[in-house]
Amino acid sequence: MARPRVRLVVTADDFGYCPRRDDGIVEAFLAGAVTSVSLLVNGAATESAAELARRHSIPTGLHANLSEGRPVGPARRGASSLIGPEGFFLGKMGFREAVAAGDVALPQVREELEAQLSCFRELLGRAPTHVDGHQHVHVLPGGQTLSWA
């Protein structure tokens, strides 16, 4: 009996975080050690990372981020349960604590994730190959999971 073919997928996340990290990720992709990347659309090097992904035909997904940096959606323009007083996300533990306390407005989460998806499409001209979460923010306290639906 023939065995089913197994394909190992190795995804490098935080693509777009900074140029030096991006260079290392591309080097690993070209060497065959990485098979795909996950793009932070609010990273410091997002535009150049998107260009690298296009240039090297790297399968690219969205690295959904609710914990680090500044939002790309409506939250960036004012008061939001997703950000602190300085306009930055609350951080990994700050976000988890705010969710556990019931202080995060889930419609604002949806708005931000939709804005990140839209930004991804603008940068790469297509939908992501996959979606995963920066610092596991897609898995909320109490077993809740964020959903696009």
Active site residue 13: yes
Cα–Cα distance measured from residue 37 to residue 21, given in angstroms and rounded to the nearest whole number: 12
Scanning the chain, the segments in alpha helix (DSSP H) are: 19-30, 46-55, 92-100, 106-124
State how far the Cα of 141 lies from the Cα of 137, in Å rounded to an integer: 9
Which one of 13, 14, 22, 23 is the catalytic residue? 13
Kindly report the backbone phi and psi dihedral angles of residue 44, in degrees, each rounded to the nearest multiple of 5, phi listed first.
Answer: -65, -25
Residues 41, 62: Cα–Cα separation, whole Å:
8
Residues serving a catalytic function are 13
